[in-house]
C-alpha cells in the first residue's frame, strides 16, 4: 500500500494526463484530496467528461493499451436487464409480495452457493429492508456486466447467449473503469467515471443508510458539517485509515487475479473481516453522529435525521405480508426522537434498533405516543 506524499501526488497528476478520453483532462475527486501526507491511500477517483459514442469506447481502449503506467482491470456498467430489483433505486416502488417472488426467482438463476444464501434469508420468520438489500447484493454479484477491453472495443458483451449493446447498457448507470496505477514497486487502485452530461442518472442517496455501511454513512457527514468541526471529523476517521486502504488494496489484488490473471500477495484478512472491523470502529464512535448533527449546516439537518433513522431502523422486520407501496413499509418512527433513542440505547446498553422496537411495542400496548415512552426511560 502507498502513503501519500508530494512525490506520489506529483507523479499521479503527471501520469494521469496519459489517459485523456474526451476534450478535457480527467478530474481528481474523492477522499484523496482531503488526506494528509503520511496517510495511506485507499483509492483514486477521477471523472471524465465525455460524449458517449462507439468511437469514444474504441479510443478509450487504444489510450489504455498505449500506457505502461496503468493496468486495466475491468469496466463495470449495468446488470442483466431482467435482474433489476422491482423495488426501485431506494425502495420507492416496494411491494412485499412482489419482492419475495422476485427474490425466489433470482435464487433459481444463481449458482448453488448464492441460491442457498438467498433461500436462507427468505426462510426467516420476518424480513427487513436490510434482508432485501442483502439479496440484491448477492444477485448483483452474478448478474452485473463486467466489460473487458475487447468487449469495450467491440461495443457489446455476450452473457447467457444474449448480446448486450454498450450504447444501450450505459443508459442504466455511469460506466466506471477500474485500473491499477503502478508506482515504484507497488500499485494503487483507480476508478474513472465516464460521465456524459446528456445522460441523467438517479443517484441512490438513501441506499447507503439502508445498507448500514457505517463508514459510508460517516462519509456523508463531511459536506454537511460546519468548518470548525471538520478537524474532529478527520481525526475520528483517521483511526481506520489503514483498514480502509487495506480493503481497497485487497479488492484490487483480487480483481487483478480474477480478470487479468495477475497474481500478487495480499492480506490474509477477508474483505468481510475488514468491513466488519471498519463498521465496528464507526459504531464504537457513535457519539460522532450526535456531535455531527449538532454541528450540521441547517439545510442538511432534517434530511440527515431521516436518513440516520433509516440506518438504525433498517433491521426492523416486516411481520406480515404488506401491500403498502414504498419505503414506509419499513420506517415508521417519529424522526425527531432519534436523539433520545441514541441516548436511551446507551443507558440500557441496547442497540438503537432494540430501543425502537421496544418503544413501539410499549406505545401500542399502552396506547400512548412513542415520545412519552422514550422520555420515560430518563
In the chain (378 residues long), the average pLDDT of successive 10-residue segments reads 92 91 82 86 92 92 93 92 84 80 93 94 83 91 93 92 91 92 92 90 75 80 76 83 89 87 73 84 72 66 65 55 51 51 64 66 75 69
Do 71 and 105 belong to one domain?
Answer: no
Do 132 and 73 belong to one domain?
Answer: no
Q: What's the pLDDT at 317? A: 56
Do 48 and 190 belong to one domain?
Answer: yes
Q: What's the pLDDT at 154? A: 95
Do 37 and 179 belong to one domain?
Answer: yes
Do 29 and 90 belong to one domain?
Answer: no
Could you list the residue range(s) of the whole structural domain that residue 178 is in? 6-80+144-199
In a domain, 73, yes or no: yes
In a domain, 89, yes or no: yes
**Eight-state DSSP code of residue 274:** H
In a domain, 304, yes or no: yes
Q: What's the pLDDT at 314? A: 57
**Pairing mode of beta strands 186-195, 44-49:** parallel
- Domain termination site, one of 258, 278, 313: 313
Closest CA to 74 of 257, 206, 215: 257
- For the entire predicted model, the pTM comes to 0.78
Q: DSSP assignment of 86-144, as one string?
A: TT-TTSTT--HHHHHHHHHHHHTTS-HHHHHHHHHHHTSSSB-HHHHHHHHHHHHHHHE
- How many separate domains does the chain show? 4
Do 305 and 217 belong to one domain?
Answer: yes
Do 13 and 87 belong to one domain?
Answer: no
Output the domain CATH number for residue 156.
3.30.460
Do 94 and 112 belong to one domain?
Answer: yes
CB 217 within 8 A of CB 286: no
CB 351 within 8 A of CB 314: no
Do 102 and 237 belong to one domain?
Answer: no
> Cβ of 269: how many Cβ atoms within 10 Å?
15
Do 234 and 344 belong to one domain?
Answer: no
In a domain, 328, yes or no: no
In a domain, 30, yes or no: yes
> Which runs of E-coded beta strand occur in the chain?
27-29, 44-49, 70-79, 144-147, 156-159, 162-165, 176-183, 186-195
Amino acid at each position: 500500500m502507498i502513503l501519500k506524499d508530494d512525490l506520489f501526488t506529483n507523479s499521479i497528476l503527471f501520469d494521469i494526463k496519459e489517459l485523456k478520453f474526451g476534450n478535457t483532462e480527467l478530474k481528481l475527486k474523492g477522499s484523496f484530496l482531503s488526506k494528509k501526507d503520511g496517510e495511506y491511500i485507499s483509492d483514486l477517483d477521477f471523472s471524465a467528461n465525455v460524449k458517449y459514442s462507439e468511437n469514444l469506447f474504441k479510443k478509450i481502449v487504444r489510450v489504455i493499451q498505449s500506457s505502461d503506467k496503468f493496468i486495466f482491470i475491468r469496466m463495470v456498467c449495468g446488470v442483466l436487464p431482467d435482474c433489476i430489483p422491482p423495488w426501485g433505486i431506494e425502495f420507492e416502488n416496494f411491494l412485499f409480495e412482489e419482492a419475495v417472488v422476485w427474490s425466489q426467482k433470482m435464487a433459481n438463476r444463481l449458482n448453488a452457493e448464492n441460491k442457498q444464501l438467498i433461500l436462507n434469508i427468505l426462510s426467516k420468520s420476518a424480513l427487513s429492508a436490510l434482508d432485501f438489500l442483502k439479496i440484491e447484493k448477492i444477485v448483483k454479484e452474478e448478474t452485473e456486466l463486467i466489460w473487458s477491453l475487447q468487449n469495450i472495443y467491440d461495443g457489446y458483451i455476450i452473457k447467457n447467449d444474449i448480446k448486450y449493446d454498450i450504447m444501450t447498457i450505459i443508459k442504466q448507470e455511469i460506466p466506471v473503469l477500474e485500473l491499477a496505477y503502478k508506482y515504484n514497486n507497488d500499485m494503487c487502485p483507480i476508478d474513472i467515471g465516464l460521465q456524459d452530461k446528456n445522460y441523467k442518472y438517479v443517484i441512490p442517496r438513501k441506499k447507503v443508510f439502508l445498507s448500514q455501511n457505517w463508514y459510508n454513512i460517516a462519509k456523508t457527514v463531511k459536506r454537511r458539517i460546519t468548518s470548525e468541526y471538520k478537524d474532529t471529523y478527520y481525526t475520528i476517521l483517521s483511526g481506520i485509515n489503514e483498514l480502509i486502504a487495506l480493503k481497497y488494496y485487497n479488492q484490487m489484488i483480487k480483481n487483478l487475479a480474477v480478470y487479468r490473471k495477475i497474481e500478487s500477495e495480499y492480506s490474509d484478512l477477508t474483505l468481510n473481516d475488514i468491513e466488519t472491523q471498519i463498521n465496528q470502529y464507526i459504531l464504537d464512535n457513535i457519539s460522532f453522529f450526535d456531535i455531527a448533527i449538532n454541528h450540521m449546516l441547517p439545510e442538511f439537518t432534517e434530511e440527515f435525521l431521516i436518513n440516520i433513522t433509516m440506518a438504525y431502523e433498517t433491521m426492523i422486520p416486516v411481520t406480515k405480508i404488506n401491500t403498502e407501496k414504498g419505503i414506509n413499509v419499513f420506517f415508521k418512527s417519529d424522526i425527531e426522537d432519534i436523539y433520545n433513542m441514541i441516548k436511551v440505547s446507551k443507558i440500557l446498553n441496547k442497540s438503537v434498533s432494540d430501543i425502537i422496537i421496544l418503544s413501539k411495542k410499549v406505545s401500542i400496548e399502552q396506547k400512548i405516543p412513542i415520545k412519552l415512552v422514550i422520555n420515560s426511560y430518563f
